[in-house]
Amino acid sequence: MKYTLLDSPLGALLAVRDGTGLTGLYLPTGKRPKRPEPSWDRDDGAFDDVGNQLAQYFAGQRTRFELDLNPAGTHFQQRVWMHLRTIPYGRTATYGETARAIGAPEAVRAVGLANGRNPISIVVPCHRVIGANGSLTGYGGGLDAKRWLLDLERGAGQLL
């Protein structure tokens, strides 16, 4: 595994990839920020594509990412994460809508858990999933980061 730290308006993002694709993109905020594993090798040059696309996203110039992804997760989690990538930029969906969209309408809580275990933040836009009443519910990077990302996508992004 290779990793780097990428500058962003939300702080240094930890990007991780294997030979297949991006396996993780972690915000430095939240209750349990991810740190590089001792077995990983730092390789700043191996993430130019990720860094460029994120810079375009934060500048409001990119609404979709074109990166090879390889997140580790269960079949159910993979289904949820795949669906998250279909939620349009600047829009939100509820956990219930997401459960129905993947054909598991009774699995709202499981969708919430899968959403919370998404290892590739921003690129797999788990920040676009909100509570049924429109509230901003849990986010691994913290609710301030979630609010900031949603505001950015609505054209009103302000630095934290």
Helix (H) or strand (E) holding 14: strand 13-17
Domain span at 30: 2-58
d(CA 45, CA 99): 38
Residues annotated as catalytic (active site), given as ranges = 126
Q: Is 159 a residue whose pLDDT tops 60?
A: no
d(CA 150, CA 127): 7
Q: Is 67 within a domain?
A: no
pLDDT tier at 156 (50, 70, 90 boundaries)? low
Q: What is the pLDDT of residue 136?
A: 86
- Map tokens 């990793």 to a residue: 3
Residues 85 and 141 in one domain: yes
Q: What is the pLDDT of residue 42?
A: 98
d(CA 81, CA 128): 12
pLDDT tier at 160 (50, 70, 90 boundaries)? very low
Q: Is 160 within a domain?
A: no
CATH number of the domain at 82, please.
1.10.10.10
Question: What mean pLDDT comes out for the span 78-82?
Answer: 97
Identify the bridge partners of residue 120 per DSSP, sorted by sequence position: 25
CATH number of the domain at 20, please.
3.30.160
Judged by DSSP in three states, 94 sits in: strand
Residues 50 and 87 in one domain: no
Strands of the sheet containing 41-42, edge to edge, are 22-26, 13-17, 2-6, 41-42
Higher pLDDT, 156 or 158: 156
Q: What does the pLDDT look like over 124-155, one tens digit per residue? A: 999 999 988 888 887 878 889 999 999 999 98
Residues 112 and 148 in one domain: yes
Q: What does the pLDDT look like over 84-98, one tens digit per residue? A: 999 999 999 999 999
pTM (whole model) above 0.85? yes
What's the domain count of the chain?
Answer: 2
Q: In the Cβ-directed half-sphere of 136, how many Cα atoms lie within 13 Å?
A: 15
Buried (b) or exposed (e) across 2-11, using 16+ Cβ within 10 A?
bbbbbebebb
Q: Is 68 within a domain?
A: no
